[in-house]
């Protein structure tokens, strides 16, 4: 799930809701006050997931 942070232009909270852990976790990303494109969001999410250890589900 991606949510723009109210009052913080260009800041987004990415929540991993399908992971094996409860509560869900994710990351936040802040730009230079400019909205991110969908392509930028996908790249950000992909780079984050690349850091996850598939055996544990946590950051490697």
Work out how many domains the chain is built from and give that number.
1
How confident is the model at residue 20, as a pLDDT?
66
DSSP symbols for the chain: -EEEPTTSTTEEEEEE-SSSSSS-EEEEEE-SSSPPPHHHHHHHHHHHHHTB-TTTSSB-
Is residue 25, in this structure, part of any structural domain at all? yes
Q: Please check whether residue 59 lies inside any domain of the structure.
A: no
Structural domain contains residue 42:
yes
- Residues 2-60 have pLDDT tens digits of 899 999 999 999 888 876 666 667 788 887 788 889 999 899 889 988 998 888 888 88
In a domain, 39, yes or no: yes
Q: Which residues form the domain of 9?
A: 2-50
pLDDT at residue 15, rounded to an integer: 86
Q: Is residue 15 part of a domain?
A: yes
pTM equals 0.69
Q: Is residue 58 part of a domain?
A: no
Whether residue 34 lies inside any domain: the answer is yes
d(CA 4, CA 60): 27
What six digits make up the tokens of 38? 């969908």
């Amino acid at each position: 799930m991606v949510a723009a942070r109210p009052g913080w232009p260009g800041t987004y909270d990415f929540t991993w809701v399908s992971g094996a852990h409860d509560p869900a976790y994710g990351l936040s990303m802040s730009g230079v006050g400019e909205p991110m494109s969908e392509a930028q969001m996908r790249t950000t999410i992909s780079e984050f997931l690349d850091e996850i250890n598939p055996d544990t589900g946590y950051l490697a």
